[in-house]
Structure 1
Amino acid sequence: MTGATQMLESGHSDVVHDVQLDYYGKRLATCSSDRLVKIFNVAGDQQSHVADLAGHEGPIWEVAWAHPKFGNLLASCSYDRRVIIWKETTENTWVQLQVFLEHESSVNGISWAPHEYGLIIAAASSDGTISIHTCGSDGSWETVKINQAHPVGCTSVSWAPSTTLGSPTLGVHRLVSGGCDNAVKVWRLQEGRWRMDWPALSKHTDWVRDVAWAPNLGIPKNTIASASQDGTVVIWTQENDGDQWEGKVIHDFKTPVWRVSWSLTGTILAVADGNHNVTLWKESLAGDWGQVSTVQ
């Protein structure tokens, strides 16, 4: 597997915690312990820094682009307990559309729902809760919480795809979360309330640092990746809705694993580990996972 690699000088004055491309791959957002979000144009071979977004009062852990059907919206979450929704009003001019201050501790992870559900974002916090913020047709926001989702702290959250393979209708709203209790938990919205969809998934022996629910364009089953402080990445699969989840350790990286991210088709998994490596993994026809590339 080969591809062109571009280097970008972020201009941040402290550690960069997250980097996210927008839907079209033409805008790049970065965030850092320097309390800034930076926006870059990265179309083609040209790169240009176009905006600094200042509004957080602590390190910013993650950024996430909304689907372009909602306009140019970017979310950020921080140690300062805030989730901020930023909106581009005119070219390269950004304002704070909404600030959520619903948590008692650091907000560690955010994830936009599939756009088919509307403008909805979930946030995972060290206070043990997950908040789900939904924008109504009048522009007002409603917040619900999953209390005690991970009582000792929630690190990450990811939405399930909106439909299952072969189904023409929208599926049930589902989330996966990871926590400091070493557990991966799947949640389902039932009759207006979020409930655990299955007993906690337990294969990790230390904090779960990240979770990612795979798109199902290329795989006819539910698939979740989890990354842990224990150095392992686990792939969880569910053949059909309601079946038991099965977990398989695909590799022991011998160092904490910080992030996992799926390709658009859900067939390639990128893994970022504590040795500053990013590796790409793919499942064989026999069901074994192997490394196919290292991102240099």
Structure 2
Amino acid sequence: MAASGPPSPTPENQAFHLNLQHGHKDLVQAIAFNTYGDRCATGSVDGKIRVFNRHRDGTWRLCDTWTAHGGEVLELQWLPATIYPNLVASLGIEGWFRLWAEDPSAAPGRRFCGAGRSSGGGRPAFDTRSTTRAPYRSFSMKHNDDTRQTHLALLATDGRLTIYENDQPDNLAEYTSIDDFAICPRPSRGEEVAFKVRFDPNPDPCYTALRAGVTLDALGLVVAGMDTVKVYRSRDVVTTSYGVPQTQREFYLAADMSSAHRGLVRDVAWAPGNIRGYDVIATACQDGFARVFRLETPYDENDGKSWSASHLLKTSKTHPGAGGSTSAVSAASAAAAAAASATAAAASASASAATATALGGAAGRDAAAAAASGAGGPSPTKDETAATNTTAGTATTTIPNATTAEKRQPPSQQQQPSTLSASLAKSSGNQTSSERQWTGQEGQTQHAWRELSRLDSHRTPVWRVDFDDDGQILGSTGDDGRLVLHRQTPDGSWAKSSELAMVKARMAAP
């Protein structure tokens, strides 16, 4: 069987040992490995990032160190090795998100901080911070090798989530905001906060989600804000700007797992390996439990579809630079033109009928009938009216926070607001009103979740959870100083398999 990716530059038959003196002058707060596991980046409270390389003899040697932030480094993430040059992203407690690019030709100590966008040293390839007073506290990045698009999600302490998109890997500074909304109410002043965001690490949605209607290029996000956990999916909406239809991404609420938690949610993780037909999500909660959830998309067996690629692999790559077809835009343009023509004809018919009625008599009635016939023939039936409303609804952006009465109505009966109203709603400063809710609009797919396991191995507040690259092992850490590993049992539940205790030991000088 052929390898799924390029081979690792280091031998795989050697045992993995990470026993190094990191050299930081303060506590190490973040650590991240690259795709192959042969590069390690550490971030400390002193604001410095150090990169280590694993050599063929199994030893780890320092590659580069630089001051990345003015305060502690909260999170680190390596971008896929398919992107050149090597990139590592960091987030500091001051709220700055920074992207560092490696220059292999530079001298040691200047490889990451020297290849900046200006002649000055220590400048990142890209950086950004929140436009409000609330700093960023979590981020996640995802790169698609097929579309060459890189997406960045940033979560601030006021509960606002911002998603950026870059479709030019050669230009690292070009990130465009594609969506911005609130995931929870703004915390009170002085209240302890907890925020975390993670992308779906799988290249594509699982096959059952594709069968249920999720497009092949849809993005998935799991977000933890305070004591809430929510899953968002992206869909394509067609908007009209200056008479030109355009397609853009918009995220909708797919699942809400908040009812299962009784405290602040410190961490979330989305498991790789969705070939199983459903997704697995884990959370770390302050109430002492690490929870594992199963996320699936129910579908109708009698929907007339099959498991063939022609029915499953549906894409809507109509974004600028995505390289996809423009059939959706053309269809939306035709629908908009038809709606405009029908509106003009109806207005003309109304004016003609009013004039004929003013004339009076049989001639007036004949003129009114002729005007109605010329406007569109016989009056449309209820089915035709509903179909027209549904078609028009797909060509406009919808307000995310529908009222309770609108939520109970079928999608075809909901009032479709105009594009201008939706744009004003998205740019509104009212965070409560900008929270995304399930509305059943075109392109939204209902998700279902259930709790598989509630793990209490730590019996103390759980701080972090994460899966391995195959999604078969779940690791969790808590206040007890132990790393507990869990595996899935044949009945679908998760159970403790092993643990690693952390103890202090005196190390000999090299």
TM-score, structure 2 length as denominator? 0.54
The separation in 2 between residues aligned to 1:144 and 1:200, in whole angstroms, is: 25
| Partner SS state of residue 50, structure 2 | strand
1:50 counterpart = 2:63: yes
CA distance in 1, matches of 2:66, 2:251: 33
Q: Which has the higher contact order (CA 8 A, sep 6+)?
A: 2
Distance 1:200 1:271 in 2: 19
Preserved CA contact (<8 Å) 1:127 1:154? no
Between 240-249 and 267-276, report the one with greater CA deviation: 240-249
Alignment counterpart, residue 271 of structure 2, candidates 214, 219, 223? 214
Whether the 8 Å contact between 1:219 and 1:267 is mirrored in structure 2 is no
If you compute each CA radius of gyration, which structure gives the higher value, 1 or 2?
Answer: 2
Q: Percent identity?
A: 25
SS at the partner of 1:68? Answer: coil
Q: For the residues of structure 1 that align with 2:20 and 2:137, how far apart are their CA atoms? A: 25
CA contact (8 A) 1:136 1:142 kept: no
**Equivalent runs, 1:94-243 vs 2, <5 Å:** 94-95=112-113, 96-102=124-130, 104-116=133-145, 118-137=149-168, 139=171, 140-151=174-185, 152=187, 155-160=195-200, 161-166=202-207, 170-180=216-226, 182-190=227-235, 191=237, 192-217=249-274, 219-240=276-297, 242-243=446-447
Distance 1:170 1:22, change over 3 A: same
CA distance in 2, matches of 1:288, 1:187: 24
**Are residues 1:282 and 2:487 paired?**
yes
1:178 and 1:43 map into 2 onto residues whose CA distance is 38
Contact 1:154–1:178 (CA under 8 A) maintained in structure 2: yes
Secondary structure, aligned partner of 1:69: coil
Counterpart-to-counterpart distance in 2, 1:24 and 1:287: 29
Q: Does the CA-based 8 Å contact 1:111-1:122 persist in structure 2? A: yes
Task: Say whether 1:273 aligns with 2:485.
Answer: no
Q: After the TM superposition, which of the residue ranges 149-158 and 34-43 deviates more from structure 2?
A: 149-158
Please state if 1:246 is matched with 2:303: no
Shift of 1:249: 3.9
Report what 1:34 is aligned to: 46
Distance 1:126 1:270 in 2: 26
Aligned twin of 2:32:
20
Identify the structure with the greater helix proportion.
2
More strand as a share of residues: 1
- Count of aligned residue pairs for this structure pair: 293
* One-letter amino acid of the counterpart of residue 13, structure 1: K
Question: For the Cα contact (< 8 Å) 2:18–2:60, is it kept in 1?
Answer: no
Runs ≥4 residues deviating over 4 A = 166-169
In structure 1, what is the Cα distance between the partners aligned to 2:483 and 2:470?
19
Residues 79 and 143 of structure 2 are in contact (CA less than 8 Å); yes or no, is this contact kept in structure 1?
no
Asked if the contact 1:70/1:119 (under 8 Å) is kept, the reply is: no
Q: Normalised by the size of structure 1, how large is the TM-score?
A: 0.90
Secondary structure, in 3 states, of the residue corresponding to 1:90? coil
Q: Distance in 2 between matches of 1:86 and 1:122?
A: 17
When the two chains are superposed, the root-mean-square deviation of aligned CA atoms in Å is: 2.2
Query: Which segments of 5 or more consecutive residues in structure 2 lack a partner in the other structure?
Result: 1-14, 114-123, 188-192, 238-248, 299-445, 502-510
